[in-house]
Amino acid sequence: MKSPFSRREWLRSGALLAAGFSGLSRWNPAQSYAARREQAFFKEFAALADDQPRIRARIAFNENPHGISPKAKEALIKAVETGHRYSWMESAQLKQLIATKEGVKPEQVMLCAGSSEILMGAALYFTGEGGKIATCRPTYDDLLELAQAFKAEIVSAPLTKEYSYDLNALKAKVTPDVKLVYICNPNNPTGTIIPPNELTAFCKEVSQKVPVFVDEAYIDFMKPEDRPVLPKLIAEGYNVLITRTFSKIHGFAGLRLGYAIGPEKMLKGLRDFTRGEFNLSVTTVMAGIASYQDTEWQSFVRAENTKGLDLLYKGLKEHGYEYTPTHANFVLFPIRMKGKKFEQEMFKNGIFTSTREFDAQPYCRVSIGTLDEMGMFMDVFKKIAG
Ligand code: PLP
């Protein structure tokens, strides 16, 4: 695929430089959306750091509350001995493992320091020169807002009444000026999924016209029969890009590891806008190799997540609250007070969770913590909202 916005081409083009062509020069991190958002984040967290002892349940960011696998811990400690080396060999090993499992070539896999890096790279690669991105909303806005902060326009269809992606409505948004379709499956913040056969058919059809990006950050929480097998489409030559992360089932949110699977040519183009494997510490990669193979730990985390969900569902039902059944490690449900007030009241009682508002209705999106954390969440919830 021809990159709509190749940094190398741009750098080579003296004429464009002389003309003051904006291109990447627009990317002023000090002013970018990401930087502004991160500033807000850090401010909030600096305040939270003082309050740290008060936080009894940290269930705001869909992190894995059980930590990393014991085998990954062992690998991490061992890897310290290799800390003076770049991680090329270890990264190649992990890419090979992923490629073998997914039935693609290692060249069709790219590792990154968390999938956020690929979301950012994709925003620049596909729409750095403008154009539209089609999606359904509400969804995970990271790539969309980053793209918008440059020059892209987002065209979106609403989710269905069941809060799922509406693929027909999305297809209708794909006009010739759409440069990318973004899908999040399971969707964050709703936890809903697209039936695998429908998503596969959509990708096959739409990717003939425009690349389809599927963010599969929460795929490991899905039942095996619900999981689409999109790497197969990539192996068959379809213009589809998927991202996965180690931040969730593997518990690597702080260690930072994610990957993309996509056509080799597309990954080459994306490389102009990410640092790929070069950003990875050898400790993270070696721990990643151990964790990737530790299916026992992944099953344990999935099973604990189900127990936490059951506890939450039961509590919400008891108090007459509706919720959207989830396929991930978080649940979205409408609340009966202003979001900020809910967050503050919960926080005062040691529960760190998050809210958002759609169509003037506030919702809580609570991550599934340990059973203890979910018990604490329900106790406080009863007190302030029951
Ligand atoms: N995609 C989705 C849907 C997410 O919810 C997240 C984080 O919560 C990410 C991507 C980014 O994850 P990371 O950069 O930690 O891999």
Q: What is the mean pLDDT of residues 38-50?
A: 60
> In angstroms, what is the span from residue 115 Cα to ligand 1's centroid?
6
41, 117, 119, 140, best to mutate for ligand 1 pocket (most atoms within 8 Å of CB):
140
* Gap between the Cα atoms of 142 and 53, Å rounded: 30
> In angstroms, what is the span from residue 118 Cα to ligand 1's centroid?
10
Residue 293 CB neighbours (<10 A): 16
284 pocket-lining for ligand 1 (C-beta < 6 Å): no
Where does the chain show beta strands of DSSP type E?
A: 57-58, 109-112, 132-137, 153-158, 178-184, 212-215, 240-245, 258-261, 330-334, 351-352, 354-358, 361-367
186 pocket-lining for ligand 1 (C-beta < 6 Å): no
Q: Per-residue b/e over 249-258, b at no fewer than 16 CB within 10 Å?
A: bbbbbebbbb
> In angstroms, what is the span from residue 140 Cα to ligand 1's centroid?
8
Strand partners, 58: 352
217 pocket-lining for ligand 1 (C-beta < 6 Å): yes
Which of 88, 92, 126 is closest to 270 using CA atoms?
A: 126
246 pocket-lining for ligand 1 (C-beta < 6 Å): no
Of 358 and 44, the structure prediction assigns the larger pLDDT to 358
* 195 prior amide bond cis, ω within 30: no
CB 353 within 8 Å of CB 385: no
> In angstroms, what is the span from residue 217 Cα to ligand 1's centroid?
6
CB 334 within 8 Å of CB 322: yes
Q: Which residue's C-alpha comes closest to atom 11 of ligand 1?
A: 116
In tens, the pLDDT along 119-134 reads 999 999 999 889 999 9
Torsion of Cα atoms, 61 then 314 then 54 then 253, to 10°: -20
CB 267 within 8 Å of CB 98: no
Q: Give, in order, the Cα–Cα distances in Å from 58 to each of 18, 163, 372, 373.
A: 51, 26, 11, 8
Task: Reduce the secondary structure of 5-57 to three states and give it as a string.
Answer: CCHHHHHHCHHHHHCCCCHHHHCCCCCCHHHHHHHHHHHHHHHHHHHHHHCCE
215 pocket-lining for ligand 1 (C-beta < 6 Å): yes
247 pocket-lining for ligand 1 (C-beta < 6 Å): yes
274 pocket-lining for ligand 1 (C-beta < 6 Å): no
* Gap between the Cα atoms of 231 and 44, Å rounded: 38
245, 275, 291, 367, best to mutate for ligand 1 pocket (most atoms within 8 Å of CB):
245
Please provide the average confidence, as pLDDT, over all residues in the chain. Answer: 89
155 pocket-lining for ligand 1 (C-beta < 6 Å): no
352 pocket-lining for ligand 1 (C-beta < 6 Å): no
Q: Provide the pLDDT for residue 378.
A: 97
Which of 89, 103, 44, 120 is closest to 275 using CA atoms?
A: 120
> Residues 60, 244, 100, CA angle at the centre, nearest 5°?
150
What residues have CB less than 8 Å from 302, skipping those under 6 apart? 220, 221, 249
Q: Provide the pLDDT for residue 151.
A: 85
Q: Answer yes or no: is pLDDT of 45 > 90.
A: no
Torsion of Cα atoms, 327 then 243 then 110 then 148, to 10°: -150
Q: Which residue's C-alpha comes closest to atom 4 of ligand 1?
A: 217
> In angstroms, what is the span from residue 16 Cα to ligand 1's centroid?
35
Q: What is the mean pLDDT of residues 217-230?
A: 97
Q: Answer yes or no: is pLDDT of 17 > 60.
A: no
First to last CA, the chain: 54
The 3-state DSSP class for residue 334 equals: strand
Which of 374, 369, 365 is closest to 189 using CA atoms?
A: 365
Please provide residue 115's backbone torsions phi and psi, each rounded to the nearest 5 degrees.
Answer: -70, -15
Q: Provide the pLDDT for residue 16.
A: 31
115 pocket-lining for ligand 1 (C-beta < 6 Å): yes
* Weakest mean pLDDT among 19-23, 49-53, 82-86, 370-374: 19-23
* Gap between the Cα atoms of 144 and 133, Å rounded: 7
